[in-house]
Amino acid sequence: MAKKQIAVLFGGASADHAASLHTAYSVLKAMPQKIKPLPIGITRAGRWLFYPGSIENIKDGSWERDSDCCSCVISPDALSRGVIKIISDNEHAVHRIDAVFPLLYGKYGEDGRIQGLCKCAGLPVIGNDLAAAALCHNRQQTYAMLDSVGIKTPDHVTLYRSEMNDMDAVIKKITDKLSFPIYTVPTSCSTAVGVCRAENKKQLEEAVKISFSHHPVIIAESETESRSLRCAVFGKSADCAAVGEIITESTDLCNRIYATHTSRFEVPANISEKTRKQALEVSRQVFSTLCCKGFATVDLQLLNSGEICVSRVHALPGLDKESVFSMLATSETQSYEEMLEKIISSVIDID
């Protein structure tokens, strides 16, 4: 059987460009033998380049300087089902592909735009489609969907940039529902950019301004005493891996929500069997409610009351070997390579 050809998109015109390169290197190096990958890099300026060179050069960004790179585009023509290489003004070539594997984080990659392009082109996407990607990338929409089916989310207040004309009313809207310390978070940022912590009204006003500088819609949440759990969901049957926990002494939201150098990630989490089953069931419900496909990481808060609430859903989690998703998905029975094969085969037949 001929190898399936998959266009692997990496880089991107976002603040998460470097993270995408790291993930692409890891994924391409472990790609199943049944797959022929076509690496396509996107520069920080947004230029699309077909890259036929060594995978090793992707890690440090030197791939861009390869003389064999040439401009390319995904054809929106559903009959073409391929990538068009623009070799010169008078010469081009079409590579037919079976699917697209977008490893692009942040704006223009994680928010559903690339997935929408692939849908127009009639190309399957490895991972989540337009609807799920857009829902998960926007925390306001995530919370609204989950709240509508009774899945608990943190107490929060949604704010719109148009409300800044009356800052006193904005502060009152927040403090009437939430207590300090309060975090303000842009609704559609993939990293901790624009996240601020306030302990009083003066700090809250500044936090609101900073968060609004990154996105026209923000969410305010109270700091809670909770444990930060993670669960990976993947495959056709929405399998749930072990539940892990981010351990940190810091109250900073970046450390509580993201596994950083000042925190550590433990798999499995030191929780009761009852709590573990509850976390897995909530994660499956979230995956289904948000119409996720392929894979996702669900961020959970285990409150002191024993309740579990959902704080974030990553439709495109980190997929390198050291990522939270990979640590969870490979913690019990399968290897990293087997995990990738399972993710890909959930979309296209590679047997």
Provide the 10 A C-beta neighbour count for residue 267.
Answer: 17
- Helix (H) / strand (E) containing 88: strand 82-88
pTM attached to this predicted model: 0.90
Provide the 10 A C-beta neighbour count for residue 214.
Answer: 16
End-to-end CA distance of the chain: 8
Cβ proximity of 239 and 226 under 8 Å = no
Domains of the chain: 4-126 (3.40.50.20), 136-153+225-345 (3.30.470.20), 156-222 (3.30.1490.20)
> How many CA atoms, within 13 angstroms, populate the side-chain half-sphere of residue 62?
7
Cβ proximity of 215 and 111 under 8 Å = no
Per-residue pLDDT of the chain (351 residues; tens, 9 = 90+): 688 999 999 999 988 899 999 999 999 999 999 999 999 999 999 999 999 999 999 999 999 999 999 999 999 888 888 999 998 877 888 999 999 999 999 878 888 999 999 999 999 999 999 999 999 999 999 999 999 999 999 999 999 999 999 999 999 999 999 999 999 999 886 666 789 999 999 999 999 999 999 889 999 999 888 999 999 998 777 788 789 999 876 555 554 544 445 578 999 999 999 999 999 999 999 999 999 988 999 999 999 999 999 999 999 999 999 899 999 999 877 899 999 998 999 899 887
Look at residue 251 in the predicted model and tell me its pLDDT: 52
Look at residue 77 in the predicted model and tell me its pLDDT: 87
List of long-range contacts for 286-290, beta carbons under 8 Å, 24+ apart = 286/146, 286/151, 286/233, 286/310, 286/313, 287/233, 287/238, 288/238, 289/145, 289/146, 289/149, 289/151, 290/132, 290/135, 290/136, 290/142, 290/145, 290/146, 290/315
Look at residue 235 in the predicted model and tell me its pLDDT: 74
Provide the 10 A C-beta neighbour count for residue 193.
Answer: 17
Look at residue 241 in the predicted model and tell me its pLDDT: 78
Look at residue 189 in the predicted model and tell me its pLDDT: 66
